[in-house]
Structure 1
Amino acid sequence: MKRIIFIAAALAITTTVAHAGDPIIGNWKTELGDTAAIAPCGAGYCITLKSGKHAGKQIGTFSGKDGSYSGKITDPDANKTYDGSLTVSGSALKMKGCVLKVVCESQTWPRL
């Protein structure tokens, strides 16, 4: 049992260290003016709304590194999930969500 706890703790520390300097981590202002937090979760990153009418709702899961990520994004009003990509450039996060990779919408969020 002690071995399992040690292994789990080592994995948690390794994951935290690997994510520590990633530019996607932090708080971002959505186009509606809400705050969205991006933090490590599992082997990637999760986006959780921190303010607004959907505060507390997780709206995305992504993996990647060095400013380029891909995964799933959820429109909290429609409660529909889409394939998405994120890129970080300086203090801007560009998010793109697509239906069947044909119909796409983009948003740019500034870092808070």
Structure 2
Amino acid sequence: MFRKMSVAVAATMMLAGAAHADPIEGNWKTEAGSTAAIASCGGSFCITLKDGKHAGKKIGTFNADGDSAYSGKITDPANDKTYTGKASLAGSSLKMKGCVLGGLICKTQNWSKL
């Protein structure tokens, strides 16, 4: 009886954890064609490239700012420069924005959920 109850409790906890996943979490196709994985890490969301020339490289850390809005740092994997970043989620599209000089110069990319 104890074993059955333990299995039921474990299954319930796994389902509850999955239900609370943030919508930004998962795999995203970047404009360059690489796959970027976004996962929870230490109270933030870490972005790691999964394939391509820079596979395995961590390129960003974001915090949730509210519904579908995120902010943090994003790194260009080609030159290792880090920028102030913002992300906004709309359905299966993630708008990524990196800026310098207090937001005077920005570059935007749109990623799609895989």
Task: Give the alignment's TM-score, normalised by structure 2.
Answer: 0.80
2:104 maps to 102
1:14-64 Cα distance to aligned partner (Å, 9 max, x none): xx9499331100100011111000000011100000000000000000001
Question: Do the aligned partners of 1:23 and 1:66 also contact (CA within 8 Å) in 2?
Answer: no
| CA distance 1:109–1:28, change in 2 (3 Å) | same
1:59-108 Cα distance to aligned partner (Å, 9 max, x none): 00000143100000000001100000000100000000000110000000
RMSD: 2.0
Structure 2: distance between partners of 1:20 and 1:38: 15
Question: Do the aligned partners of 1:27 and 1:35 also contact (CA within 8 Å) in 2?
Answer: yes
2:78 maps to 77
1:76 partner letter = P
Structure 1: distance between partners of 2:90 and 2:43: 22
2:58 maps to 58
The higher radius of gyration belongs to 2
The 5 Å alignment of 1:22-33 reads: 22-33=22-33
Unaligned stretches of 5+ residues in structure 2: 1-12
Find runs of 4+ consecutive structure 1 residues off by over 4 angstroms: 16-19
Task: Give the alignment's TM-score, normalised by structure 1.
Answer: 0.81
